[in-house]
């Protein structure tokens, strides 16, 4: 719902007041849901992206996606599609990420998005709702998707935060991928959750019927996946991290794609961890590569 033109570059040192001369720039069509679609494509799968675009940056965004061969349905809006900036500081290896707010959507615009999703629902398949909601879109937007999905036998996967996440879970979803902080907030916990508390919090969400599956990515500490019957943990494969942009989206893409292909939950989870790590190995805003995912999957087997 809030796509962004991802601009990435590098400079020697990030410091205030001075002009920062940057190296070559890379431009990618970003935003949670579109990144998931791009990663699914990289892994040999097919999906349809639905997203609002507007203004000159929206036209550029459409061109970037078409160049990648992404199939999509665009809802035209009056506002200008946002941009995000990632700068690598060469002297330290640190990465700075600047995420702009995004345009305000009017009610007819976000309702048009709902309508298009309703027309395109993959009955018996998966709908991924990923990323922040732009200004003007109500917090209950993903909850509306949850109800539409439930009526049509579609498994809704949600990756968002804050009130939008809480509302979606109250409506009930198939799979949710919160951050560690968000997981604690969802169960009213204070402070950081240890390993056992992570499992207990995820099990509480499942037991309450808010989600059938809870997937938790923990950076270098690996990942956790919890259902009513299973608790799965995997370490993060050893790899040289170049950029964390898109790692969570690649994780989610591989998880949903493998489930849609009929793989077991354990196999899908292994592929997801491999894809998230593969994205972190790629530079700037590039997503996971199939060859890297296959190699890392073999290491996790």
What positions carry a catalytic annotation?
A: 249
Separation in Å, CA 38 to CA 68, 155, 168: 8, 20, 24
Q: Provide CB contacts within 8 A for 51, sequence distance 6+.
A: 1, 3, 31, 33, 34, 72, 73, 74, 75
CA atoms within 13 A on the CB side of 150: 16
Distance CA 290, CA 301 (A): 16
CA dist 85 and 100 (Å) reads 8
CA angle 104, 106, 112 (to 5 degrees): 120
For residue 237, the SS3 value is coil
Bridge partner residues of 95 (DSSP): 88
Q: How far apart are CA 28 and CA 19, in angstroms?
A: 24
Taking alpha carbons only, the member of 73, 47, 71, 74 closest to residue 256 is 47
Beta strands in the chain (DSSP E): 4-11, 26-30, 49-53, 72-76, 82-89, 95-99, 126-130, 155-159, 173-176, 211-217, 223-226, 231-234
β-strands 126-130, 155-159 pairing: parallel
- Token output for 94: 């640190």
């Amino acid at each position: 719902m809030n796509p962004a033109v991802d601009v990435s570059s590098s400079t020697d040192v990030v410091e205030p007041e001075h002009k920062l001369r940057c190296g070559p720039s890379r431009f990618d069509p970003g935003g949670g849901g579109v990144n998931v679609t791009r990663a699914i494509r990289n892994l040999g799968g097919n999906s349809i992206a639905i997203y609002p675009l507007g203004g000159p940056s929206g036209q550029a965004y459409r061109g970037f996606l078409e160049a990648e061969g992404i199939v999509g349905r665009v809802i035209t809006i009056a506002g200008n599609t946002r941009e995000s900036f990632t700068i690598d500081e060469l002297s330290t290896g640190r990465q700075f990420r600047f995420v702009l707010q995004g345009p305000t959507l009017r009610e007819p615009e976000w309702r048009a998005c709902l309508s298009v999703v309703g027309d395109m629902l993959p009955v018996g398949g998966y709908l991924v709702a990923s990323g922040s909601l732009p200004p003007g879109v109500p917090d209950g937007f993903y909850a509306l998707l949850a109800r539409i999905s439930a009526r049509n036998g579609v498994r809704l996967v949600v990756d968002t935060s804050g009130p939008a996440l809480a509302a979606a879970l109250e409506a009930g979803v198939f799979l949710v991928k919160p951050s560690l902080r968000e997981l604690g907030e969802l169960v009213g916990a204070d402070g950081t959750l240890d390993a056992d508390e992570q499992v207990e919090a995820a099990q509480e969400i499942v037991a309450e019927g808010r989600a059938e599956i809870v997937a938790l990515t923990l950076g270098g500490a690996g990942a956790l996946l919890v259902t009513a019957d299973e608790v799965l943990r995997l370490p993060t494969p050893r790899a040289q991290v170049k950029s964390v942009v898109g790692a969570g989206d690649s994780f989610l893409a591989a998880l949903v794609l493998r489930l849609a292909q009929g793989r077991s939950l354990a196999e899908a989870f292994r592929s997801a961890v491999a894809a998230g790590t593969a994205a972190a190995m790629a530079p700037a805003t590039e997503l996971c590569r199939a060859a890297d995912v296959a190699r890392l999957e073999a290491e996790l087997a």
